[in-house]
Amino acid sequence: MNYARLLTVQDISCVGQCSLTVALPILSACGVETCILPSAVLSTHTAGFTGFTVRDLTADMPAIAAHWQKEGILFDGIYTGYLGSTEQIGYVQDMFRTLRKEGAKTFVDPAMADNGVLYGAFDMTYANAMKPLCFGADVILPNLTEACLLTDMPYREEYDEEYITEIVDKLCAAGAKTIILTGIGYQPGKTGVVVVDGGRTQYYEHRKIAKGCHGTGDVYASAYVGAALQGFTPYDAAKLAADYTVRCIENTQDDASHWYGVKFETAIPELIDMFRNRA
């Protein structure tokens, strides 16, 4: 296996399985040295909890990056998740320019919207600021809502393949290189991933579990990035990440008390086996 050094920039929700508390263990299980730059620290995530605390670390981000530059620390890849402000987006763009080894890949999960609406902390100014970050990255991993925001397309709950093709074409025309478009289903009981790379479009379909879990987007993106840094093709990495995420949801379904996240830890042995079986 490759031993790559990755930087991931996103928040820490101390309780609630999402963002860095998901990314760090999953990427480590993929055999990737995972360095972190927290954008904020929250006592819990914001979906279902009340009275949570938030410590914004925006002001610390440029000083941390400057220290790494002084020490000559560079990365084989940079992966961003939830970013709290347009200012943080700007800092990440600087890091893409200054903290990458030659040939290093950049991965952006826009993490700003779902089910047709922006997350509560964001507005269209933020969505528009996300466009140059996404279109300057090597790989983007939007869901359908985020892809619509990036392309100024109307969001539809019901759609066909022609609609998805139009969105993909607009993403490519805007500069997107490799696109991993998640949560795309064309028939009942199924969902999947549209993978666009090198002018070729592929689709991986899998079972849709009716009851979703918070944080599965972070699980998916982290598993994808880990596989990509181990040399998987975009399609194979997308398939591995989808299979792993489905297993994590399956392992959580029967526990009503575990409403705040997904039991991704229980499926890590299977994730490791996916890499072993490939070898």
- Please report the pLDDT score of residue 238 as a whole number: 98
Mean pLDDT of successive 10-residue stretches along the chain, which has 279 residues: 93 94 97 97 90 94 97 98 95 97 97 93 96 98 98 96 98 98 94 96 90 85 97 97 95 89 95 85
Q: DSSP states of 222-245 as a string?
A: HHHHHHHHTT--HHHHHHHHHHHH
What is 5-271's CATH topology?
UDP-N-acetylmuramoyl-L-alanine:D-glutamate ligase (3.40.1190)
Give this prediction's pTM.
0.96
Q: Computed over its alpha carbons, how large is the radius of gyration of the chain?
A: 18
Query: Whole-angstrom Cα distance, residue 239 to residue 166?
Result: 23
Cβ-based neighbours of 23, under 8 Å, separated by 6 or more: 8, 10, 34, 36, 79, 81, 218, 221, 222
- Please report the pLDDT score of residue 208 as a whole number: 87
- Please report the pLDDT score of residue 279 as a whole number: 55
